[in-house]
Chain A
Amino acid sequence: MITVSQDQQLDRRRMALKQISSNKCFGGLQKVFEHVSVELNCKMKFAVYLPPKAETGKCPALYWLSGLICTEQNFVSKSGYHQAASEHGFFVIAPDASPRGCNVKGEDESWDFGAGAGFYVDATEDPWKTNYRMYSYVTEELPQLINANFPVDPQRTSIFGHGALICALKNPGKYKSVSAFAPICNPVFCSWGKKAFSGYLGKDQSKWKAYNATHLVKSYPDSQLDILIDQGKDDRFLLDEQLLPDNFIAACTERKIPVAFRLQEGCDHSYYFISTFITDHIRHHAKYLNA
Chain B
Amino acid sequence: MEEESGEELGLDRSTPKDFHFYHMDLYDSEDRPQLFPEENPRMRKEVVQAETANESTGAGDGKAQSDLREEVEELVHLYGLEDDHELGDEFVDENMPKMGVSEYPPYGMKRRDPAREQRDWRLSGEAAEAEDLGFGGWGSAGQCQDLREVYRYTHGRASEEYECYVIPEEEDEEEAADVFCVTCKTPIRAFQKVFDEHKEHEVIPLSEALESAKDEIHKNMYKLEKQIIDMENFANHLEEVFITVEENFGKQEQNFESHYNEILETLAQKYEEKIQALGEKKKERLEALYGQLVSCGENLDTCKELMETIEEMCHEEKVDFIKDAVAMADRLGKFLKTKTDVEISAQPDFEDQTLDFSDVEQLMDSINTIPAPSAPVINPQAPNSATGSSVRVCWSLYSDDTVESYQLSYRPVQDSSPGKDQAAPSPPIIKTKEIRSCEEAVLICWESGNLNPVDSYTVELTQAESPEASGVTESVVGIPTCESLVQLQPGQSYIIYVRALNMGGPSVRSEPATVHTIGSYFRLNKDTCHPWLAISQDGLTIIRSERSTPRREPPPSDTRFTRCVAVMGNLIPVRGHHYWEVEVNEHLDYTVGVAFEDVPKQEDLGANCLSWCMRHTFASSRHKYEFLHNRTTPDIRITVPPKKIGILLDYENSKLSFFNVDLSQHLYTFSCQLHKFVHPCFSLEKPGCLKIHNGISMPKHVTFY
Contacts and interface: CB of A to CB of B under 8 A. Distances in A.
Interface of A: 223, 226, 228, 233, 249, 252-253, 256-265, 283-284, 286-287, 290-291
B634 A263 contact: yes
A260 B668 CA distance: 9
A260 B635 contact: no
B701 A287 contact: yes
Contacts of B635: 233, 262-263, 265
Given A265-B634, A283-B705, A291-B700, A253 B639 contact: yes
A262 B701 contact: no
Q: Which of B639, B666, B701, B704 is packed against the most chain A CB atoms within 10 Å?
A: B639
Given A263-B634, A286-B704, A291-B701, A226 B664 contact: yes
11 contacts: A223-B640, A226-B663, A228-B666, A233-B635, A252-B639, A256-B639, A257-B639, A257-B640, A260-B638, A260-B667, A265-B634
Contacts of B664: 226, 287
B660 interface: yes
A287 B704 contact: yes
Nearest to A255: B639
Contacts of B675: none
Contacts of B559: none
A259 B639 contact: yes
A253 B636 CA distance: 14
B56 interface: no
A264 B637 CA distance: 11
Contacts of B666: 228, 260, 284, 287
Contacts of A262: 634-636
Given A253-B640, A287-B704, A291-B701, A260 B665 contact: yes
Size band of the interface chain B makes with A: 10 to 19
Q: Which of B637, B666, B704 is packed against the most chain A CB atoms within 10 Å?
A: B637
A42 to B, nearest CB: 39
The 10 tightest CB contacts between A and B, nearest first, are: A263-B635, A252-B639, A259-B639, A261-B637, A253-B639, A258-B640, A258-B663, A287-B701, A258-B665, A287-B704
B194 to A, nearest CB: 76
Nearest to A233: B635
Interface of B: 634-640, 660, 663-667, 700-701, 704-705
Contacts of A265: 634-635
Nearest to A217: B639
Nearest to A253: B639
Nearest to B640: A258
Contacts of B705: 283
A283 B634 CA distance: 20
A290 B639 CA distance: 25
Contact of B636 (A257, A260, A291): A260
B459 to A, nearest CB: 40
A290 B665 CA distance: 15
B637 to A, nearest CB: 4
B638 A259 contact: yes
B705 to A, nearest CB: 7
Q: Which of A249, A260, A265, A284 is packed against the most chain B CB atoms within 10 Å?
A: A260
Nearest to A291: B700
Nearest to A224: B663
A228 to B, nearest CB: 8
Contacts of A264: 634
B643 to A, nearest CB: 12
A249 B636 CA distance: 11
Nearest to B701: A287
Contact of A249 (B637, B665, B667, B701): B637
Contacts of B663: 226, 258
A104 B666 CA distance: 45
B451 to A, nearest CB: 58
Contacts of B701: 287, 291
Given A284-B666, A291-B701, A258 B660 contact: yes
Given A263-B635, A263-B637, A287-B701, 4 more contacts: A226-B664, A249-B637, A260-B665, A261-B636
A290 B637 CA distance: 26
Q: Which of A252, A257, A262 is packed against the most chain B CB atoms within 10 Å?
A: A262
B626 to A, nearest CB: 13
B634 A226 contact: no
A88 to B, nearest CB: 9
A223 B639 CA distance: 12
Contacts of A252: 639
A40 B136 CA distance: 68
Contacts of B640: 223, 253, 256-259
Contacts of B638: 258-261
B339 to A, nearest CB: 111
A40 B293 CA distance: 139
Contacts of A263: 634-637
A283 to B, nearest CB: 5
Q: Which of A249, A253, A257, A290 is packed against the most chain B CB atoms within 10 Å?
A: A253
A265 B665 CA distance: 22
A283 B704 contact: yes
